[in-house]
Each structure stands twice: as structure tokens, then as C-alpha cells.
Structure 1
Amino acid sequence: MDIWTVLLSILVIIIVYLHYEYGKVKYFEKHGIPHNKPWPLLGNIGALLLKRRSMFYYIQDLYNLNKDAQYVGFYDFANPTFIIRNPKLIKSITIKNFDHFVNHHAVVDAEMEPLFGNNLPSLHDDRWREVRNLLTPAFTSSKMKGMFKLMLNIGENFVDYLVEDSKNKPLEINSKDAFCRYTNDVIATCAFGISINSMKDKDNQFYALGRKATNFDVLALIKMLCIHNFPNLSKLFNIQIIDSKVNEFFQKIVEDTIRSRDEKRITRPDMIQLMMETRANETLSIQDMTSQAFIFFFGGFEASSSLMSFVVHEIAANPEVQKKLQKEIDEMFKKTNGDVTYEAVNGLVYLDAVINEALRCYPIIGVNDRVCTKSFELPPTLPGKKPLRLEPGDRILFPVYPIQRDPIYFDDPDKFNPDRFIEDPQGTLHSPAYMPFGLGNYIFNNYFKNRILLLIVLKFFSGPRMCIGNRFALLETKVLLVYLVAKCQLKPSKKMRMPLELSNAMTMTAKGGFWLEIQPRKK
């Protein structure tokens, strides 16, 4: 261990200790807000740092501290953070009072890490609105149809590769790794205009650097916590999460793609094309474009592949679900004479239900956040208590995973039951308690399908900060499942831990990984 690491560690301990000693950890006790007793120095994050428990199970424990409370407390080191338990209050915060909670908490410094700091989720206030309005047209139905055609070829080739490998004997795969390769190829094509086959070319640079950028190990977690809690200190020691090689690689891809399209007058239905069309207004620099394309890649590579892993696991683990889904997809192929169309795929009702149920059971964004930007009064957390005044800079969390597993809102919540989205689609899908992509995602996507209406709403209402790429993520998931379920019989591998448990990682994933057994389907 070098001298700088030792000095930095000592300095961090001293600063945290001073914060602690000045009494910030008495905040919840003073206001009568339910909370766990904090550890010295670490507050309530000790169990997470030591990886004693999954972050999502731990948030669920906090959520269950008091079932009558509208919100409970959590100390991020010595910083009080509010976990909002009431879905109606979450809806009020994220939609009705959105102008008080416009921003997410900034994880990194944009000057130090422009690749992460300048992308849409990290942007604040007017700059976020500007870029959001700019990128929204990339995810309209017409743009989705164009990208759908690009996805189809990748999806069919991916599944055919698995079928070929499983002809002689059942194929056992690490499904998370395999689906990362599929999403890598989809994003490379739909965002960057690059054709890659990551199942055949397993060590391609696009995949290797993507894996490196999305692999948040213990060191990355420590860096994130340091940047989050001690930004000035992190800046002084130039602490960064993303390797500079990753930034250089993606920036070169964007520059080369733009130059090639300008020279050859190439037009493609992808994100880079949309951003190129804005250059006349000088809204986005090359670095800005790289940041938006990268976060699109980051979300597609990691979050979408995780969603696919959970969905396919539940299909494999529930034969009755698989059989019902096979029947629906077989009928689709029969009706379209084997021609898979955008309308046909989006018309698969049971497939939608299976994906929605997987998102309920395993919301990839299991915890969401906001930062107070204007003074706001929370109602009393418990009867007899006083309202609480939030000030700019105060942070709140939305415990998506615990809410979607709460029997108050969903009957038999630990059972994988897609039929709940068919029996009561409006009550379930549009419930304030269902928010896998952030509250408002289905409200906006379903009721403002018209591009002009959506832009008007975003301009004047500012729009909840739901995931802008949710339609893309759902579409690439559907394409994969249509071919995989049509051509393969799926079973959990013997390596798969049953029943599934969440790992102690900071991301939503299975303990022991995802393991799948594949056989060509006998028709």
C-alpha cells in the first residue's frame, strides 16, 4: 500500500468522524422518524460495504421498519436520507411536485468523468430538459420500427447459434453472459451503427470494454462512495470510476461514425443519426454525443441483459408459463406466415404479461432517487408527528423492489404470476406501486404515443425522470424471447441456485449467477 493511499484513508476517516461527531446522526431521532441505529462512522451502509446482505434485501428490511410510516430514515455515512414508503406520496413527488425534485443525485463530477457525468440521467435542471427533449424523438414508434428491423436479424442469428450448439446434447450456458453479448450487438448496431457478432467473435473490443465499463467491483464501489460523499477530496486525488481507455474508445467510435456518414451521406435509424441532425443548433458536442450514446450502451448492455436473464429464468423454472408462451408465439408465426413484424410482436399479450411480471419481481432499478431542488414539506410520517421540511440538497429514495413485493399492493407477491397483468391490466400496470422504470413510465408511454403531444408535455410539464430507453429495452427483450421460446426448450441448469436469491452485489442479479439449459424444440 503506497503512502498516498494511507494518507487518503486517514484523511477520509478523520472527515467522516468529524461529520459524525457534529451530531448529524441524531437527525431522525430528533424528528421521530423510524430508523436503524447507525454504526459509528459508517452510518447505515456498513452491511452494504461489507457485502453482508443484498442491497435490495437491505432496503426491504428498512422498508419494513414500520408498516404505518409514510417514510423511514437511512444514514448514508452521516447524511440523512429519506426512504419514501407510500406509493401515492412517491407519485406526488415525482409528478405533481416534480419541479421540487427535478434531479438525480450526481454520482460523478462531469469535468472529471465526462463520459458518465454528461449523460442524460446525470444532467440537471434546464440542461436535462434540453437534452431530454432532444433525445425523446429517438424512442417514438416510428424510430422503434426502424430499430426493430435491425434487432430482428441479430436476435434470430443469436438464437440459431444456440440451437446449433445444442443439437447433439443439451447446452448449458451462463445466460447473463450470453444475453450481454446479444444486447452488446443490438446496441452496437442501433446506437453506433456497427455490426458485431459477439457469439462468434467473443473477444471483440466493443464487448470487452463494455464489460469493463459495467463491471462494478468492490474497488469501483469504494470509489463511488468516496466521490459521492467527498467530492472535493476525490477531485484532488483524481479518483475516477471509468477507465480513460473506455472513454477514448467510445469517443473515437462516435467521431469515426459521424465522419464516415458525412463523407458517404449514410443515414441510419439510430441514436447517432438523431444527434447528428441537431448539430446545426450546436446543441451537442462530440463529447456530449459520446456520453448519450454510452449511457444508452450502458443501460442496454447491463440492465437489459439482467432483465432478459430474470425473464428467461422464470420461463424455464415455470413449465406452465413456458407452454402458454410457446402457444402464443407459435400462433403468431402461423398468422404471419413466419414474417415477424413490429405490430405482431407488440400484439403478444401474454409475452407482455410475462415481462411485466418479471419487472415486478425483479425491477432492475430496484431503488430510485431524487434530490430536493426547492424547499418542500413532507406530510407527517406517522399519526401525531409533525410535517418535515426538506431543503435543497436533501436526498430521498424510492424503494421500488420492496413496494413491488408488498402484499398490500400485489396478492401473493413472491409468486411469479403473469396472469395478474391480464386479469386486471389497468389496475396492475398503471398502479402507483408498479414503477420498474420509474413512476410515470407507462402513463407517458401509453397515453402520449403521439410525438407532438409527448414533446409538448415534456416541454411544459418537464416530465418525470422515468427511463427514456424503456421502450427500446422492452422491444429488444421481446425480439430475443420470440425467437428463443419458438426454437428452444428451456430448463434451469443444475448449476442454477433454486429458488433464486439476489446476490450481495450492488446490481440486481442472482446469487451464483444465471445458468440455463437449452435444447432445440421438437415441433
Structure 2
Amino acid sequence: MESSTLLLTILTVIICLYYFVLNKFKSSYFEQLNIPHLRPIPLLGNMTPFAFRHISHMELLQKMYNLFPDAKFFGLYDFLTPIFVIRDPDLISTIAIKQFDNFCDHQGFVNEILDPIAGKNLFNLQGDHWREMRKLLSPSFTSSKMKMMFGLMCQCAENLTNFVITQSGEAVKTYDMKDLLSRYTNDTIATCAFGIEVDSFKNPNNEFFFLGKEALNFNKPWMAFKFQMHLNFPQLAKLFKLRMFGPKVENFFKNVVATTVKARDEQRIVRPDMIQLMMENRNNDNGPEFDINEMTAQAFVFFLGGFDTISTAMCFITREIGINPDVQERLKKEIDDVLKQTNGEPTYEAINRMKYLDAVINETLRLYSIAHFLERKCVKETELPPATPDGKPIVVKPGDRIWFPVFALHRDSKYYPHPDKFDPDRFINGDVDNSVYMPFGIGPRICIGNRFALMEIKIMLFYLLWHCDIELDVKTRIPLTLRKKTLALWPDGDFWLKLRPKKSKIPITPCLSNGHRIEGQ
């Protein structure tokens, strides 16, 4: 036997023994604590149905959630890792808000040694470093900043609708909505975060869009595999040097940020975006010390989150609008009312006052949350109340992981009557308990870009429905079934819809803010 083969065999045996012993140690964790749980299968834990593609990850979690209706929380084995799954809304609020300092961290999905730049992203950061970075970046997403970015987003929405109108003429045409809407999100992030004007409809092969589609798509099997390895088997991922993104992606974004910073320094350009804030704090003695790598990490994760997850949310929204013609008609009426009030020039304030548009978006995010579970990691020993009425208080220790099952909570008939029905009116009639609605997260670690995402979605829908009708295609699958191969929320058959430009189309006019045109640069 060759020496290399022998070494590989020995290494494989050692790894198997290590995980076998680890499995034996961890598999009795919840039994010892007397917490409701399902008996795990060696190495796979409770993830066997998902691992063998019998059920999607979110539906498996929902199924387990429904097995313990009387428990405040239950135990789940995510492969080898014991997870406390909290199903009681009051306890979720306590952990995520009142006791935040005890549960302030996430389990990172990027190894900072393997991916030195991407590993510094805000989601990965922990403790004081996270607090400093969050405090610094938060002003990028205030209402006043959103108002400044409004015109930039409108220009991107104009590019989208002009593309559809040019492609279709007065005929109806079928579109892969993920491709179409990813081009829109790509352009909005490029201009609003990086200060770079990109038109992915005229230039479909630009590097921003290409990298987003090919290298940052978590629905691709290889990306999904690497993501799960880093979450569940970080030692193996590190051993085999399994990089999440690789040098090509990091070098591209580093070059973009460095070039942008240099141009702004030399030409004294000031823009209301994330890079500007970080530039202004480069020599701040009271905050994080910024270099190009740190700035790249934060800009990168903003692009990562905005490109894929938000475009997917948009796909679900347009699909529901296409399936429900009554909803589409009400939205169009609300849009027509806004156009009359603003003389055909929609403003930031007018779009933000659209109650039914808000309700449609909120209801879609209830059914198809951006994250189907939220995670926290314990950093300080904390006592939790008994899991069951006849149980005893439980002590959670540093390193223990906690999940909030958003997908299951949002579809629980206890909180949402007829939970599987698409009903935007529930958000107008005041029937929703906000403590059980968390599409962007909860507490201090709520998604920092939620305002940006909602504005981006609203503008896209406003422009699309202003100028087009959304219709079903023969490839639109009804009912929707969820893909079982990835952790991300995604339908079998993808998103296919028809878009029909309106014959009596009003000429597209740039959005206004306070009556003043906002230029692209």
C-alpha cells in the first residue's frame, strides 16, 4: 500500500472514531436534561429525512415543532449538535431582547482563517466587535438615508420595467423571475452600497451580477454543501480547507472597495452609503479600526444578503400576486391612487403610505420568511423556565445553541387563523401579534438592512404593477412544493411568470423626494 493511501486511511479512521465518540457523548444531552426530544440517529441526529431528501429543512423543523404543542421548547439534534428550539413567543422575546447580553452571538458560517475577509462580516462577528460594528453601520440604514437612496432605487426599477417593455412590446412574455429580479437587486446594491452605476439589463454579464449568480448562490448544491459543513462540521471544513467563497470573490470586492475609496478621497466625493460611513471612521480612536479588508467584509455581506435573499423574497411576492388576481387588482388601484395624488411622479412619502402594498409584502414574508429559523449562541450561563408544565428549570451553558423556528411559528394556527392561506388583510385588520412575526429577525441582532430591503421591494412592485400585468405560466407550479436539497427556501420548478406590458402605459418618470429629482451619482 502506498504511503499516501495509508495516511488517508488512517486519517479517515481517526475522523470516524472522533465523530463516533462525539456522537455518543452528545446524543444523550437532552435525555439527561429531561427535555422533550426525538431520539437521534448516529451522526445524522434528527436530520435524517432532510439528509436523504425526503423533506425540506423548514418543513422538517415545522413537523418537529408540531410534535411538542405543550412545550415551551424542545431538543433537536442538528446532525451532531444539540439545539434548543424555542417555541414559546414570550420566551423568545426574553432570550432575544431582555437577556440579549447572554445570547448575543451567532454560529458563524465562514471560517476567518480560510476566508479572511468574508469571515469579518457583521453576521459572523461576536461580542464587543459586533457591537462596535453594528453601532457604526446602523446610520447607513436610517429613514433619512433610505430617503436619499430612494431615487437611486427608482432608476433601477425604471431599468427593469423598460427592459420588460422593450422585450415584450405589447405581447405577453414568460420570464425566469429569479434571473430578472436578481438583476434589479444587483443594480440597487451596486449603486446604493458601492456607488457604482450598473445596468444588468443592458449589460447582463457585468462582474457584479456574474459573481452574485455563480459564486454567491446558496441554492447551488456545492454552496449548500459547504454552508452545512461549516455550520455542522467546522473541524472537517477547516481540515479540508473548504473555503466558502474563495480568493476570486474576495479579490473582486476588495478591488471595488479600494478603487471606490481612492476615487472618493482624491475627488472628495461624498455619498450617503455604507462605504462613506466607514471612510469617515477610519481614524476613529473610539471605534473599530478600519482597513480595506474590514470595509470589504461589511460591504460584501451586504451584497451577499441583498442579492440572493431579497430577490428570492421578491419572487415569492410576485408569484402570490400572480396567483391571486383580486390582490393584484387591489394593488393596482392603490398604485393608481398614488399616481393621481402625485401627478404621475411617485414620492418616497407616498409609497411608504401604501397600506395594502405593505400588507401584501408582510403576508408573503410571513409565509416565506427570509430566514426560516433564527439562531443565537449562549455566551453566559442562563436559567430557562421548565420546558413542560411538569418539568424543572434548565441551565443553558456557554456554547449552547438556540433556534427560533420562524417558519413554524408563522404557520401556527394558534397565532394565525387559516395559516396556509395567503391573506394580506390580516395585516390591515390588526389580527397579527407582532411578537410572533419576525421575518427579519428579532432583538438587537435583527437584520440591519431590513429598511433597505423593504424599500427595495416596494419600489420594484410599484413600478412593475404600474406598467405590467403579472400572469401565470404553464411552468408555474400550483400548489407550490419546497425544494429538499438546500437549506434555503426555494420552490421545486423555480419561479416562472408571464409579464404583459399595459397598452395604455404612462411614460416612466423618475421618482421624486420632497419634490426634487434625485440624480444617480
- TM (norm. structure 1) is 0.91
Compute the displacement of 1:106 (Å). Answer: 1.9
Conserved 8 A contact 2:171-2:501: no
Conserved 8 A contact 1:213-1:243: no
Structure 1 residues 33 and 489: CA distance shift in structure 2, 3 A: same
Select the residue among 22, 27, 35 that pairs with 2:29: 27
Structure 1 position 492 matched with structure 2 position 472: yes
Compute the displacement of 1:5 (Å). Answer: 7.5
1:266 alignment partner in structure 2: 269
1:513 alignment partner in structure 2: 494
Structure 1 position 421 matched with structure 2 position 431: no
Select the residue among 442, 450, 454 that pairs with 1:474: 454
Select the residue among 235, 242, 245 that pairs with 1:242: 245
Taking the aligned partners of 1:251 and 1:420, their CA distance within structure 2 comes to 45
1:419 alignment partner, SS class: helix
1:500 alignment partner, SS class: coil
Taking the aligned partners of 1:314 and 1:212, their CA distance within structure 2 comes to 27
Matched pairs, number: 495
1:404 alignment partner in structure 2: 410
2:316 alignment partner in structure 1: 310
1:17 alignment partner in structure 2: 20
Select the residue among 353, 363, 386 that pairs with 1:347: 353
Aligned residue identity for 2:368? Y
Aligned residue identity for 1:514? F
Taking the aligned partners of 1:309 and 1:37, their CA distance within structure 2 comes to 37
Where do residues 249-260 of structure 1 align in structure 2 (5 Å cutoff)?
249-260=252-263
> Which shows bigger deviation, 12-21 or 179-188?
12-21
Taking the aligned partners of 1:494 and 1:236, their CA distance within structure 2 comes to 47
Structure 1 residues 422 and 10: CA distance shift in structure 2, 3 A: same
* Percent identity over paired residues: 47
1:91 alignment partner in structure 2: 93
Select the residue among 176, 179, 183 that pairs with 2:178: 176
Where do residues 39-54 of structure 1 align in structure 2 (5 Å cutoff)?
39-54=41-56
Structure 1 position 329 matched with structure 2 position 335: yes
Conserved 8 A contact 2:378-2:398: yes
2:193 alignment partner in structure 1: 191
1:182 alignment partner, SS class: helix
2:385 alignment partner in structure 1: 379
Compute the displacement of 1:29 (Å). Answer: 2.4
- Structure 2: where are the runs of 5+ without partners? 505-521
Taking the aligned partners of 1:233 and 1:317, their CA distance within structure 2 comes to 44
Taking the aligned partners of 1:5 and 1:292, their CA distance within structure 2 comes to 38
Compute the displacement of 1:231 (Å). Answer: 3.5
Structure 1 residues 8 and 210: CA distance shift in structure 2, 3 A: farther
Compute the displacement of 1:90 (Å). Answer: 0.2
Compute the displacement of 1:232 (Å). Answer: 4.1
Compute the displacement of 1:380 (Å). Answer: 0.9
Compute the displacement of 1:7 (Å). Answer: 6.5
> Which shows bigger deviation, 210-219 or 248-257?
210-219
Structure 1 residues 302 and 5: CA distance shift in structure 2, 3 A: farther
- For residues 342-378 of structure 1, the C-alpha deviation after alignment (integer angstroms, 9 at most, x for no partner) is 1011011110111011111111111110000111111
Select the residue among 304, 307, 318 that pairs with 1:298: 304
Conserved 8 A contact 1:71-1:84: yes
- TM (norm. structure 2) is 0.92
Structure 1 residues 283 and 37: CA distance shift in structure 2, 3 A: same
Structure 1 residues 366 and 6: CA distance shift in structure 2, 3 A: farther
1:159 alignment partner in structure 2: 161
- Structure 1: where are the runs of 5+ without partners? 441-463
Conserved 8 A contact 1:56-1:366: yes
Taking the aligned partners of 1:405 and 1:283, their CA distance within structure 2 comes to 43
1:74 alignment partner in structure 2: 76
Structure 1 position 391 matched with structure 2 position 375: no
Conserved 8 A contact 2:170-2:501: no
Compute the displacement of 1:289 (Å). Answer: 0.6
